[in-house]
Chains A and B, each alone.
Chain A
């Protein structure tokens, strides 16, 4: 199976390669950001004990005198195995952000599990009943919703459900010691907020993807063959829209990553977003780097998935002449 006979394989592989390249470049930038620090890395770690000899010894120990590309490769290699070095506060970075990462992933996963099927269903409804009230209503409200800053949504949710109605706690301080039910209860508000934020984007995009497929001439042909409208949407339009929709869903999940930061801050949810903000406040550079790397990897990963789905769902590439 050579590349020329299967163009789809070569396209997917080259896209994967591009993604990998992007990741390397981005990690290079993240790594080099340290160079912008005023003062030296070693003195920052030592803090109060930063005498000249201690600094020199620390630099030697950390291998800070080696050429930069060597340090970069070492850092990258370590990061790939999960060792992100030591934070300025003295603990291994992975210990600090490990559990936080898990929390954020759980939050994002639950939100995505609800948001994806819901937004696709709503997108289909909008396309099926194009121009009618439900479509106009959803179009206008989603357009308004994407203009609303995440913290606004968060505070309104908090104001209504936590303060006025007192249904849920306004701080989502979960701990590993709590049982699942208790943790879930505290997570309701952040999940709801994240859901509202991302649903608006997703519904707009799935609606647009399906509508653009519905504008294709073979859709009119199906109607001229007498197919009922719901069949036209489900059997003719949807199979063509799967590619664009999946791609759009992946893109929105990538957007989820930055949205999660603000929400974690508002609800004081112990996730990686909160960790990043805390480390930004404390100028704890290794932690900032680690968080940035994780976020960037996830973002690049989702974009990659989106592009690959686009490629694989093209019938011309799936079944070449």
Chain B
């Protein structure tokens, strides 16, 4: 309990900028890289030298050259262009899936926390059952039977991932709901919906945002892995995971080109994880410095 009062708050924008500048090097690196990826994804058609599915060369697996900076892939398409369009496809699909699962999971989680009782028990048991399945295996099984369309992919991953958001938003909401100001709101005669939106949500937002970042990484990596295994995003759509698989033969010849999309996947995931790690450390009050 502090015996002295602190000064009046400075304008929001200044505080935000100061916050960014005070972040550790890793987090700053992460933010810059993430922004770069976002820009590439947004402006892909303007940046890529060739089309996504355009067969531009008769020579498949061509080496790096002036016309094709990263050579050509197994069908004679420009590797670099596919890489750039891959950014757009991979990131947008992962983003949509993440947001879908966030919405589903958080709404149900907060609802369960507030309502409690039987509804909470039933929902939590269902979530427990869904979470007790290894995700990759489950997705493989369902996709192999239903077929690997993009819609199926998004829906299945979204439902499975929403369990994480459910858990974390429910736990956070329960935590906050046990605090006096929520009880005070109830004593005031406020309704459950008002309490959820006005009292609980502002307090669990930071935690949810960090989980958002982490889940985006996982989903992103999962989609890449599935595409690598041949079950995810189907050709001819450019996707980094499948690009690695399609051109894997080059590795045995000592050519690193197929590793570039893999590296691109890794770099984005690392960047987002660095930012999320920083956010979590701030929220929990811990510091990486002693």
Residues of B with C-beta under 8 A to A257: 134, 137
Least CB separation from A300: chain B residue: B132
**A206 contacts the other chain (Cβ, under 8 Å)?**
no
Stretch at the interface among A45-53, A56-64, A79-87, A151-159: A151-159
Residue A25 is within 8 A (CB to CB) of chain B in the complex: yes
Q: Does A78 contact B (CB under 8 A)?
A: no
- Separation in Å of the B75 CB from the closest CB of chain A? 20
B161 to chain A: closest CB distance in Å? 14
A155 touches B136 (CB 8 A): no
Interface string of B112-153 (1 = CB under 8 A from A): 000000000000000011001111111011111110000000
Report yes or no: B262 in contact with A299, Cβ–Cβ below 8 A. Answer: no
| Pair B229/A149 contact, Cβ less than 8 Å | no
Dominant SS at the B interface? helix
**Quick one: closest B residue to A22, CB to CB?**
B132
Cβ B141 vs Cβ A292 within 8 A: yes
> Chain A's nearest CB lies how many Å from the CB of B197?
32
Determine whether the beta carbon of B288 is less than 8 Å from that of A288: no
How would residues 268 to 290 of chain B score, 1 for a CB under 8 Å from any chain A CB and 0 otherwise? 01101110010000000000111
From A33, A143, A300, contact of B145 by CB (8 A): A33
**CB distance A155 to B145 under 8 Å?**
no
In the bound assembly, the distance between CA atoms of A33 and B137 in angstroms comes to 13
| Inter-chain contact total with CB atoms closer than 8 Å | 140
Report Cα–Cα, A146/B288, bound state, in Å: 18
- The reply to whether the CB of B217 lies closer than 8 angstroms to some CB of chain A is yes
The answer to whether B144 touches A151 (Cβ under 8 A) is: no
Instruction: Tell me the interface secondary structure of chain A in the complex.
Output: helix
Contact A288 B134 (CB under 8 A): no
Nearest CB of chain A from residue B179's CB, rounded to whole Å: 22
Assess whether B23 is interfacial by the CB under 8 Å rule. no
Q: Which of B128, B217, B251 contacts A159 (CB 8 A)?
A: B251
Of all chain A residues, which has the CB nearest B146? Answer: A36
The 7 residue pairs across chains A and B that have the minimum distance between CB atoms = A131-B290, A147-B269, A152-B262, A258-B136, A280-B144, A147-B270, A22-B132
CB <8 Å contact, B288 and A151: no
Bound together, the chains give a CA A29 to CA B139 distance in angstroms of 12
Report which of B141, B144, B266, B288 forms a contact with A152, defined as CB distance below 8 A.
B266
User: Is A265 interfacial (CB 8 A cutoff)?
Assistant: yes
Residue of B whose beta carbon sits closest to that of A156: B259
Decide if B141 touches A30 in the complex (CB within 8 Å). Answer: yes
Residue of B nearest to A171 (CB): B252
Flag A240-268 by CB within 8 Å of B: 1 or 0 each: 00000000000000100110011001000
A276 adjacent to B244 (CB under 8 Å): no
For chain B, the count of residues having a C-beta within 8 Å of the partner chain is 48
Residues of A within 8 A of B270 (CB): 143-144, 147-148
Task: Give residues 198-253 of A contacting B (CB, 8 Å).
Answer: none
Complex-state Cα separation, A117 to B258, whole angstroms: 35
Query: Inside 8 A of B252's CB, which chain A residues have their CB?
Result: 163, 170
18 more CB-based (< 8 A) A-B contacts, given A148-B270, A288-B140: A18-B128, A26-B129, A147-B266, A147-B269, A147-B270, A149-B269, A151-B241, A152-B259, A155-B251, A261-B136, A261-B229, A262-B225, A262-B228, A276-B137, A280-B229, A281-B230, A292-B138, A295-B137
Choose among B26, B229, B273, B289 the residue that contacts A146 (Cβ–Cβ < 8 A): B273
Complex CA distance for A299 and B130, rounded to whole angstroms: 12
B132 adjacent to A130 (CB under 8 Å): no
Q: Which of A276, A279, A280 has the most CB of B within 10 A?
A: A280
Cα-based distance from A291 to B273 in the complex (angstroms): 32
